[in-house]
Structure 1
Amino acid sequence: MKKILFYISISLLIIPASSCRKGFLDRAPLDAISDANFWTTEEQLTLALKALYANVKNNNTVAMDQMGDNSINSSTSDAYRIFGSGNFDPDLSSVNAEWVSQYSGIRQCNVFLANYEKATTVPQAIKDQMAGEARTIRAYMYMNLVSYFGDLPLVTTPLKIDELYGPRNTKKEIIDFILKELEEAAAQMQKEPQTKTNLGRFSKGVALGFKARMALYDSRWDVAEKAAKDVMDLGVYALYSTGKPAVDYYNLFTYAGKLSAGANKETIAARINLTDVSMHNISRETQVPDQASRYNPTKALVDAYLCTDGLPIEQSPLYKEDTYANLFVNRDPRMRQTILAPGAAWGGKKDGNPANTNAGIFTAPKFVSDKLGCVTITGYYFTKYVEVSTVAAVSKDQNDIHVLRLAEILLTYAEAKLEQNTLTQADVDLTINKLRDRVGMKKMDIAELAAAGLDLRTEIRRERRVELAREGQRWYDIIRWKQGSLLAADVKGMKKSLATVPSQVSNLAADANGYIIVMTGRQFVDPKHYLFPVPLTQIQRNPALAPQNPGW
């Protein structure tokens, strides 16, 4: 079998063949394959399989965090900002786009799975591996759909793009299918970690990890616990650490943490990005030097980080809010490696004065657009997922997008144990405290939490929020925890009194305590907003999808 890197980006499907290995892209799209002899060789199966990987979300994984309360886009037309606000109707085109894109990918997987066995000369072990990958990708797309829409048509055979799907299966039936499919896919695949010859390809750990995620989302705690432990017991993944607690967490999301660099054994599934092959624009959009940032951390996220004594800011004597810089002092080290702190390197300063040698060092937030620096609407900027060297260029970012990593698996295991009332200090040490050790944060101690009057469930959930910030998990967590009221709250930023240039914030709205009000008028109606509406366009095309989801 040829050793070919699996660069899983949609751009791969459209770049010229001359920019990669000869013949790599010299093919018709999967949807257009009509040659009865296509499904005969390993190379043909490989080409067909590669097309499926374009359905794994890339930079959308980062943008999806803006559906929750961790981040907000400066653009009021951003789809994820609209989703999070609750102010949309079933005819919103972005809702339909989610439905169509996922079912289109599912159809591609169905085509592959209906045909791969025709390659009778290909060793069965190779075909099984490929089928496991296709089944895992299909299950991943169903995970997205069921989380958004609940009841869905379950389609497992090839249908034409314009063919009606029939009535909806129940949410339980869909999730039962996903869990069974991932378990069987895991049995088909190798457990090998990412190597330079299989970058981007799914393995046993991916299927088991997605199974743990789906079970957690559906409160199937025993299933989530076992699947997470199965991943942990594979023995092929380890937290990324070079012994530098001040930077290791940050570096995981930069070029240093790319799978192709070889040092990262933590990431289980990722969208791979390489020079002039597949690149994105996240670093620039985060700290764009002449515009407003597309990704603005919220006060709610900033406040979530504990102080170094292990206490929330509301309780810790270490917390001070007298200056902007002091917000970052004595805080969980992941805060500085996620939220940009004064003194850190950044790319958001556009300075026409060549004598200013400190243009690359962040000092204070900027609220007024003059084309000379990145504007924030909350007073905060992200540094996580920012490769500073690429901010100045457009769409030249090669950071891998981490879809699933060991940290999430550890957090899933801890939460699943907690919800079954079986969580012990040994479990915390095996999971959460490994994450804290990486950054040099005080360990979580169950007895100490109780003595301080802190709720263990709240702290387990806090840990998930700060560790996985900007990784697309927050909205799903809010929904499954039935905390929809958080999405109805005003989005706020820093206290106006901390602004270096008071005149820049003087006209900004603020609450009674002086915190910037970035967005108001959000809503969350229970049970309506715990699901998206079935797209109006889809119901018009297929009346069997009715009735509409509750409240819509």
Structure 2
Amino acid sequence: MKKYFIITTIFTVLMNSACQNDFLDREPLDATTSDVFFETPGQMRAYLNTFYNRKNFPKYANHGSDFNSDNEVAGTPDIRLQGTRVVSTTGTIGFGDVRRINFFFDNYRRVEANHELEEYQQYLGEAYFFRGLIYFNLMQSYGDIQIITKELNTDSPELYNPRDPRNKVADFIIQQLDSAAIYLTADKTSGAGRINRWMALLIQSRVALYEGSWEKYHDGTPFGVDDADPDKYFTKAAEAAEELIDGGVYSIYSTGNPGSDYKDLFSLLDYSTNSEVMFWQNFDQSVTQGDGDFTNDRFFRMKTPTNKTITKQLADTYLCTDGRPISGNTLFGGYNTLASEAENRDPRFYQTIATPDQVWQILPDGDIEYWSDAYNKLNSTADYNAPGGYIIQKGYNPNTTYHVQQYEESPGLIYRYAEALLNFAEARAELGTLSQADIDKSIKLLRDRVGMPNLVLSDIATDPNWDFPDLPPVINEIRRERRVELAAEGFRWDDIARWAAADELIVGTRPKGFKASQIAENPFPVDENGFLDPFRNAIPEGYGFKLDRDYLNSIPESEITLNDNLTQNPGW
């Protein structure tokens, strides 16, 4: 356990300002002493800048971010889904960030002597936000985790504490975010600078929904929680999301073009005035070029599939334009071609999955190439390998002027308002209190953007292919909406984990792709119905995810050796 805290803190200031540079010139960066820091609000700000990093704010990733789930398929099976991970023998849980944020709380109060609260309350709010976010990441990875609220030394007795139960950790995280919301600015800001109270509410709704779902659906399993109270967390999730919604600061981005607005949202170059994007990363290569943490080339990478594709499982999720599922629907055009499959579908289908008739590249001379040209090249080279066939275009900008290897200025989309609407609807549905009015202020807004019919609670069409046939229809449809709206944004595994849904969605399954007959070259296996089956040889029995183990990571054996009070996670 001592290893968690025996570290040297190295500061990397991510935002440039004259006052920060003056501050950094004062003392060496390999020291963290209370005699150096936190005499002014500017010093608090400079310290907190080190938490604005990709670890805490992973940007919208190249080719999507759902390759650890059933939404996307890469060149090799994910090891968690495959069930082939082994216990970590060395390493740490990652308490370095806990130590660093606790250092802030142990030392910031000296600022009070010469400054009014309003001068530094933003930074105090940020510190609470980051402590909550750090602990949420730890809880998602390990479940039970020690709650440490002060900087510890190598001989501190707290180093040998047992882990605190996950519901106690969840309560701690929610409390931190409550405090963050009190102190953080309520201004919308440009979204590329500092966090605000609305982001604290968004993450609070995310945390509470996660824990409520975990306690409800893991009940009676090795991951169950003593004294579980899922409704407490669902209530908090709904309240936090509704406060954000009713604040009226954000709204769904729409120009009135349902055929492209959803796709365009993810390929914009600037979100500073965007109504939906709450937080994003601006890549200004005149400032960041040469800094490895800012290497960026999303548009460049997404020009070709490079072994990264959408699964048939996700493609089948999209409703037809009448708001009904594809099963038995006369509007569904069938699987023979991608064009027919996209016909009469929720427009988010072809705004997420590239279809042959859409623009692939706008070349510097103004010439235009279409995705049909890319599909004709599938599997001809490594860059065009496509195990699922369906090429991802969500997050891609076809204008090659903006495609730059390594030093691209494509922005990173981090938080968006749509998640709050989905969190609100799901929490209310789990509580059993979801009304049509609730749908109209949440799901309807997402469907309006793409011209889809509203979800009407009294007229939910039965789908024989629902993922969760034992759950109420409204839960299935809310989960469908979440999957479609947030596809390729990195939410899917967390949803599978909190719903304890690997038995329905992962175990014994393999990712499938589109009809293999559509492409001239195909190095991948094909199933008995003609669909791409890329992992048939690698995992002939399907994914071997271990239901009694793989929902959480293992605690490194070296840490258990150092602290006799630490216990291993189930199944490891």
TM-score tier, shorter chain, comes to 0.7 to 0.9
CA shift, 1:427, in A, is 1.3
Q: Would you say 1:498 and 2:510 are equivalent positions?
A: no
- Helix, strand or coil: the match of 1:126? helix
**Structure 1 residues 392 and 227: alpha-carbon distance in aligned structure 2, compared to 1, 3 A threshold:** closer
CA shift, 1:303, in A, is 1.2
Name 2:343's counterpart in structure 1: 329
Name 1:406's counterpart in structure 2: 417
- Helix, strand or coil: the match of 1:312? coil
Q: Would you say 1:73 and 2:74 are equivalent positions?
A: yes
**Structure 1 residues 295 and 370: alpha-carbon distance in aligned structure 2, compared to 1, 3 A threshold:** closer
Q: Distance in 2 between matches of 1:82 and 1:397?
A: 31
**Structure 1 residues 480 and 452: alpha-carbon distance in aligned structure 2, compared to 1, 3 A threshold:** closer
**Structure 1 residues 252 and 106: alpha-carbon distance in aligned structure 2, compared to 1, 3 A threshold:** farther
Name 2:168's counterpart in structure 1: 173
- Helix, strand or coil: the match of 1:268? strand
**Structure 1 residues 450 and 493: alpha-carbon distance in aligned structure 2, compared to 1, 3 A threshold:** closer
**Structure 1 residues 161 and 322: alpha-carbon distance in aligned structure 2, compared to 1, 3 A threshold:** farther
Q: Distance in 2 between matches of 1:461 and 1:124?
A: 43
Identity of aligned residues (%): 33
**Structure 1 residues 68 and 308: alpha-carbon distance in aligned structure 2, compared to 1, 3 A threshold:** same
CA shift, 1:151, in A, is 0.6
**Structure 1 residues 61 and 127: alpha-carbon distance in aligned structure 2, compared to 1, 3 A threshold:** farther
The answer to whether the 8 A contact 2:80-2:545 is kept is no
Q: Distance in 1 between matches of 2:312 and 2:11?
A: 38
Summarize deviations over 1:318-337 as a string: whole Å, max 9, x none.
11222122121111111111
AA at the equivalent of 1:429: D
CA shift, 1:170, in A, is 0.8
The answer to whether the 8 A contact 1:31-1:108 is kept is no
AA at the equivalent of 1:430: K
Identify the match of residue 437 of structure 1 among 425, 436, 448: 448
Name 2:50's counterpart in structure 1: 51
Identify the match of residue 230 of structure 1 among 229, 238, 243: 243
RMSD of the TM alignment (CA)?
3.2
AA at the equivalent of 1:483: A
Identify the match of residue 306 of structure 1 among 319, 344, 356: 319
CA shift, 1:89, in A, is 1.1
Q: Would you say 1:126 and 2:139 are equivalent positions?
A: no
Q: Would you say 1:539 and 2:560 are equivalent positions?
A: yes
After alignment, is 119-128 or 468-477 more displaced? 119-128
Q: Distance in 2 between matches of 1:153 and 1:550?
A: 17
**Structure 1 residues 193 and 152: alpha-carbon distance in aligned structure 2, compared to 1, 3 A threshold:** same
The answer to whether the 8 A contact 1:106-1:138 is kept is yes
Name 2:3's counterpart in structure 1: none
Q: Distance in 1 between matches of 2:12 and 2:198?
A: 26
Instruction: Spell out the pairing of 1:189-208 with structure 2 (5 A cutoff).
Output: 189-195=184-190, 199-208=192-201
Name 2:98's counterpart in structure 1: 106
Summarize deviations over 1:70-92 as a string: whole Å, max 9, x none.
1123356xxxx323333211228
The answer to whether the 8 A contact 1:309-1:316 is kept is no
Identify the match of residue 157 of structure 1 among 130, 150, 153: 150
**Structure 1 residues 316 and 461: alpha-carbon distance in aligned structure 2, compared to 1, 3 A threshold:** same
CA shift, 1:310, in A, is 1.0
**Structure 1 residues 441 and 199: alpha-carbon distance in aligned structure 2, compared to 1, 3 A threshold:** same
After alignment, is 119-128 or 388-397 more displaced? 388-397
Identify the match of residue 389 of structure 2 among 379, 386, 395: 379
The answer to whether the 8 A contact 1:237-1:266 is kept is yes
**Structure 1 residues 311 and 496: alpha-carbon distance in aligned structure 2, compared to 1, 3 A threshold:** same
Gaps of 5+ in 1: 1-10
**Structure 1 residues 414 and 400: alpha-carbon distance in aligned structure 2, compared to 1, 3 A threshold:** same
AA at the equivalent of 2:129: T
Summarize deviations over 1:235-260 as a string: whole Å, max 9, x none.
2111112222222212221234x333
AA at the equivalent of 1:49: L
Q: Distance in 2 between matches of 1:27 and 1:255?
A: 40
AA at the equivalent of 2:263: Y
CA shift, 1:207, in A, is 1.2
After alignment, is 22-31 or 81-90 more displaced? 22-31
After alignment, is 129-138 or 155-164 more displaced? 155-164
Q: Would you say 1:33 and 2:32 are equivalent positions?
A: yes
Name 1:5's counterpart in structure 2: none
**Structure 1 residues 412 and 494: alpha-carbon distance in aligned structure 2, compared to 1, 3 A threshold:** same
Q: Distance in 2 between matches of 1:71 and 1:26?
A: 47
Q: Distance in 1 between matches of 2:18 and 2:360?
A: 32
CA shift, 1:395, in A, is 2.2
Name 1:145's counterpart in structure 2: 138
Summarize deviations over 1:510-543 as a string: whole Å, max 9, x none.
2221211122342222232222222334334434
Q: Distance in 1 between matches of 2:493 and 2:12?
A: 30
Q: Distance in 2 between matches of 1:357 and 1:286?
A: 19
Q: Would you say 1:395 and 2:395 are equivalent positions?
A: no
Q: Distance in 2 between matches of 1:300 and 1:240?
A: 27
Q: Distance in 1 between matches of 2:123 and 2:31?
A: 20
Q: Distance in 1 between matches of 2:271 and 2:236?
A: 29
The answer to whether the 8 A contact 1:250-1:337 is kept is yes
Name 1:216's counterpart in structure 2: 209
Name 1:509's counterpart in structure 2: 525
CA shift, 1:412, in A, is 0.9
Q: Distance in 1 between matches of 2:260 and 2:79?
A: 34
Count of equivalent residues = 515
Identify the match of residue 317 of structure 1 among 316, 326, 330: 330
Q: Would you say 1:487 and 2:506 are equivalent positions?
A: yes
- Helix, strand or coil: the match of 1:346? strand
The answer to whether the 8 A contact 1:71-1:295 is kept is yes
Name 1:3's counterpart in structure 2: none
**Structure 1 residues 392 and 37: alpha-carbon distance in aligned structure 2, compared to 1, 3 A threshold:** closer
Name 1:269's counterpart in structure 2: 279
Q: Distance in 1 between matches of 2:183 and 2:100?
A: 20
CA shift, 1:139, in A, is 0.8
CA shift, 1:16, in A, is 12
The answer to whether the 8 A contact 2:66-2:490 is kept is yes
